[in-house]
Each structure stands twice: as structure tokens, then as C-alpha cells.
Amino acid sequence: KQEVTQIPAALSVPEGENLVLNCSFTDSAIYNLQWFRQDPGKGLTSLLLIQSSQREQTSGRLNASLDKSSGRSTLYIAASQPGDSATYLCAVSLSGSRLTFGEGTQLTVNP
Amino acid sequence: DGGITQSPKYLFRKEGQNVTLSCEQNLNHDAMYWYRQDPGQGLRLIYYSQIVNDFQKGDIAEGYSVSREKKESFPLTVTSAQKNPTAFYLCASIGSGGANYGYTFGSGTRLTVV
């Protein structure tokens, strides 16, 4: 059974700092991996989708990497801003259909 | 704008009562999903449907039921058999292009037992 772990569970940083969120998964035979953002009481917003054949994806200040063989992904946020404060969720798909989620990293960026 | 609409945003259920959560999408997506989120936890899959008139149980289907009579709609019924229904419920869909396009989520329904 696929298990997804996110470290750390919570992170507080000053504005402007570069930061890395970690995600690990137990079954390396994934189809793809997706990073989401969730604001309190809201749904999920897709940030980046990495296919199993890809090593990384970039969108603005966000960069996600994927190392299938080691079962790891990282989400890099450059020059963090208070508006980045949210919970970040990592999810993997084995078949291109259902997702298995980690428990998330709660990020607070202090002005 | 295309997207997923969930209603209501807040729902209160009395003990022993069935309630239905609505999920509608105008993205022309084939596959739709229902997830449950409990405080401080990740999402867990309840049911999913990859095509009209067909659906499969997820990891925590007990006490829930679904239907998929139209491509656009995938309602979730929380039955009285679900002993701990208080949670945040999220509906999602994915296009026929497969997982290449990733998931789109609705804004959620918060269900509380009173």
C-alpha cells in the first residue's frame, strides 16, 4: 500500500527566505506526483504536476523535483511571501487515477 | 469559467439522518472523485467514478453512497450508517486526457453532526 509522508509538519519562516518542503513515498512505481496548496477552510489548488518521466517542474517562484528511485519529491519556494502561508499537500498516483495524499506541511511566512 | 461547484458550503446533520452533498463540474471531465479530510490529516478517498453509470469504492466507502447518472454530476450521500461523518468533503475531477492534466478540486463542503 502506498504511503506518503511530508516533512516537516509545520514550518515558520521570515519573509524573503527560500525554503524546501519534503515529500516521500513508499512505492516508487508512480504515474505522477502533484503538489497542492490549501488555504484554511478551502479546497485544493494545484501547483505543479510532475509526470513519472520528468525530473522537475517550475512555475514562477515554485520548483518541484522528483526522484522516483529514492521515492522523494521536494517543493522549493523562492523568496517566500506572507501570501504563501497555507498548507501544502503532496499526492502521488500509481495509475493516473486515484491519488494518495500526505498529511501536509503547514507553512507560515512572517512579515 | 470552468470548474467544480460543491454545495452547500456548510451542512448540518442530525443523528440518524441521510444527507446529500452536491458536486457539479462543467469541465467535460470523465472521472470524478470524493475525498474526506479530517483535521490535521491528508485526504482519504471515499468513492470515484471514471465514467457515467459506473463507480468504485475507495478506501473508506462504508456509510457512504454515490450515483453517476450524468457526466457533470457526482452526488455523495452520507447515510446514517456513517458513525463519524463530521469532516470536510472535497470533490475532484480529472480530464479524459488522463492524469496529464492533474486534478481540479471544488471548494468543499463542511459537514457537522448536531
pLDDT in tens, A7-44: 999 999 999 999 999 999 999 899 899 999 999 989 99
Amino acid at B90: L
How close, in Å, is residue B50 to chain A by CA atoms?
9
Dihedral sign computed on CA atoms, order A91, A72, A4, B57:
positive
Amino acid at A42: K
The answer on pLDDT for B22 being more than 70 is yes
Q: Nearest by CB to A43, which of B31, B33, B90?
A: B90
The answer on pLDDT for A56 being more than 70 is yes
Confidence of residue B100 (pLDDT cuts 50, 70, 90): low
Distance (Å, whole) CA A8 – CA A36: 16
Distance (Å, whole) CA B21 – CA A39: 21
Residue that is written with C-alpha cell 442530525 in the block: B14
| pLDDT score at A86 | 97
Distance (Å, whole) CA B42 – CA B32: 18
Interface of chain A toward chain B, CB-CB under 8 angstroms: 4, 31-32, 34, 36, 41-46, 49, 51, 89, 91, 93, 96-99, 101-104
How close, in Å, is residue A87 to chain B by CA atoms?
10
| pLDDT score at B98 | 52
CA nearest B94 in A: which residue?
A97
| pLDDT score at A1 | 84
| pLDDT score at A95 | 79
Amino acid at A11: L
| Cα B29 versus chain centre, distance | 15
> Helix, strand, coil shares of chain A as percentages rounded to 5?
5, 60, 40
Q: Do B43 and A101 lie within an 8 Å CB cutoff?
A: yes
Candidates A62, A46, A89; CA nearest to B99 is A46
Q: Do A42 and B108 lie within an 8 Å CB cutoff?
A: yes
Dihedral sign computed on CA atoms, order B66, B108, A95, A93:
negative
How close, in Å, is residue A49 to chain B by CA atoms?
6
Q: Do A99 and B103 lie within an 8 Å CB cutoff?
A: yes
The answer on pLDDT for B1 being more than 80 is no
The answer on pLDDT for B67 being more than 90 is yes
Q: Nearest by CB to A34, which of B45, B90, B102?
A: B102
Phi and psi at B96, nearest 5°, equal -70, -10
List the single range of A31-40, B31-40, B83-92, B100-109 with lowest mean pLDDT. B100-109
- Mean pLDDT computed over every residue of chain B: 91
